[in-house]
Amino acid sequence: MVGKSISDDLRSKDQFKTQVIKWAEKINVNPRQVRVQKMTKKWASCSTNGWVCFSTDLLKEPQAFQDYVIVHELLHLQVPNHGKLFKSLLNAYLPEWDKILKIKR
């Protein structure tokens, strides 16, 4: 069995970024930059200047978990904390988010 090639990795990143853009349109946010890079301690991060960065490890995870992380980070472009508004929006876009997290943990 042959390992993934560099072009496969780039295609995976491009497909993932396409998913991020689809979610951004649905949520009505406009990230300035979407990056997929090696991260050692977290799945993703969001900066105050609108950069959203996702771990390459996320590409190996199930689609439902990817969607949770994508929506979570994109919502931070609207709501910087994890308060009631954030959770309400998370429930609106991903009603099953808590179940997705329980399965992941």
Question: Among 17, 37, 36, 27, which residue's Cα sits nearest to residue 76?
Answer: 27
Q: Is residue 1 part of a domain?
A: no
Amino acid of residue 55: S
Q: What is the pLDDT along the chain (105 residues), one digit of tens a residue?
A: 445 554 555 578 999 999 999 999 999 999 999 999 999 999 999 998 999 999 999 999 999 999 999 999 999 999 999 999 999 999 999 999 999 988 876
CA angle at residue 93 from 92 to 95, to 5 degrees? 70
Residue 41 lies in domain: 6-104
pLDDT value of position 1:
42
CATH number of the domain within which 47 lies: 3.30.2010.10
How many structural domains comprise the chain? 1
What is the Cα 64 distance to its own chain's centre?
Answer: 10
Locate the DSSP E strands across the chain.
33-37, 44-46, 51-55
Q: Is residue 97 part of a domain?
A: yes
